Copies of this chain bind each other. A is one copy, B any other.
Amino acid sequence: MSYIAVLPPWIVLDPLLHSWLLEDIGRGDRTTGSLLTGEVRLGCADWTAKQAGIIAGLPIAARVFQLLSHYANADKVPSGIGFIPMDVLLMGERVALNIAMRLSGIATLTQQYVEKIADLPARLVDTRKTTPGLRLLEKYACQVGGAINHRMGLDDAVMIKDNHIAAAGGIAEAIARIRQKMPYPLSIEVETTNLTEVEAALESGADIIMLDNMPLDLMHQAVQFIRSHSHQVKIEASGNITLKTIRAVAQTGVDYISTSGPVTRSTWLDLSMNIVNSSTDSLS
């Protein structure tokens, strides 16, 4: 069960990585800056996982060191060796580990959810409950763990909730008004909590119907009802999904199960980095 996740291109991510490095380095690494000057020492780093889990974020950790290397005095660095300057290793270590540990923790828990329903057609999807600033990367970690991403933000899909329906004066009115204005390839999803709302959403032409916090039997009825009318509409279950409940939810026949669990209930995977100093001899 190997998933290849889609990482946004570096032109999108690099500004983020830059800001992380500046957050940690501040006005300069006092310790390294005071001790590792003059001659350039090179080194390399071994990473070890002290815990079983799914590793995510290694390309990002590598990019952290790559970015930092661009700012080192490259002309002093002997080329053609797989080692990089020690000060780069020391200055980038914490940031690289922090992101990899956080993302690996998410990927690990995601996979545990995914395994519960691996033999069923339902697919796990994530939510917009992500750490502010890390949306793209935490959703990447969910992919690494085997989930599919839900919408990335408020702009790439429409999700109609109770306040919207109230503002529009009904589900049908809301969908009609939105279809006139939103970019046409976007999907419209409607949150429903009972069969009346499910029916209204179905009749109004929703692309996705979310069954929100429904008891299992009600969810089962809703799926049956929708499927008896349409095979195109996607059905998403949401609300209180846990490792214990997810399988039963999947068995109702929904297409997608969305949960923030892997993001909000995961802890960091314990990784460590060991820096190996290149001996002076090896360079001479």
| Residues A152 and B149 in contact, CB atoms below 8 Å apart | no
Segment 178-217 of A: residues with Cβ below 8 Å from B? 178, 180-187, 189, 207-208
Report A186 CB to chain B, min CB distance, Å: 6
* Cβ contacts under 8 Å, A87 to chain B: 9
Q: Specify how many copies of this chain sit in the oligomer.
A: 6
CA distance A168 to B33 in the complex (A): 12
| A28 CB–B CB distance under 8 Å | yes
Binds B, one of A111-119, A122-130, A219-227, A241-249: A122-130
Is A163 among interface residues, defined by CB-CB distance under 8 A?
A: yes
CB–CB B181/A34 < 8 A: yes
Query: Is A172's beta carbon under 8 Å from chain B?
Result: no
Say if the beta carbon of A20 comes within 8 Å of chain B.
yes
Contact with B along A153-165 (1 / 0, CB 8 A): 1111111110110
User: Which B-chain residue is minimally distant from A166 (CB atoms)?
Assistant: B277
A123 to B183, alpha carbons, bound, how many Å?
12
**Cβ < 8 Å to B, chain A residues 28-66:** 28-38, 41, 43
B184 touches A185 (CB 8 A): no
Check if B184 sits within 8 Å of A186, measured CB to CB. Answer: no
> Chain B residues with Cβ under 8 A from A43's Cβ?
163
* Residue from B29, B131, B160, B263 within 8 A of A31 (CB atoms): B160
Knowing A129-B94, A131-B98 are in contact, say whether A8-B33 is a contact too (CB < 8 A): yes
Q: How many residues of A contact B (CB 8 A)?
A: 107
Residue among A6, A23, A87, A263 with the highest chain B CB neighbour number at 10 A:
A6
Tell which of B182, B185, B265 touches A267, judged by Cβ atoms closer than 8 Å: B265
Does chain B have a CB within 8 A of A283? no
Report the separation of the CA atoms of residues A257 and B139 in the bound assembly, to the nearest whole angstrom. 34
Contact A181 B71 (CB under 8 A): no
CB of B23 within 8 A of CB of A149, answer no
User: Contact at B98–A130, with CB atoms within 8 Å?
Assistant: yes
Q: Which of B131, B136, B166 contacts A102 (CB 8 A)?
A: B131
Closest-by-CB residue of B relative to A256 is: B184
Residues of A within 8 A of B (CB): 3-12, 14, 16, 18-38, 41, 43, 67-68, 71-72, 86-87, 90-91, 94-95, 97-99, 101-102, 105, 123, 125, 128-136, 143, 148-161, 163-164, 166-168, 174, 177-178, 180-187, 189, 207-208, 232, 234, 256, 263-268, 275, 277
6 A-B contact pairs sorted by A residue (CB < 8 Å): A9-B29, A11-B22, A25-B155, A98-B131, A148-B183, A152-B155
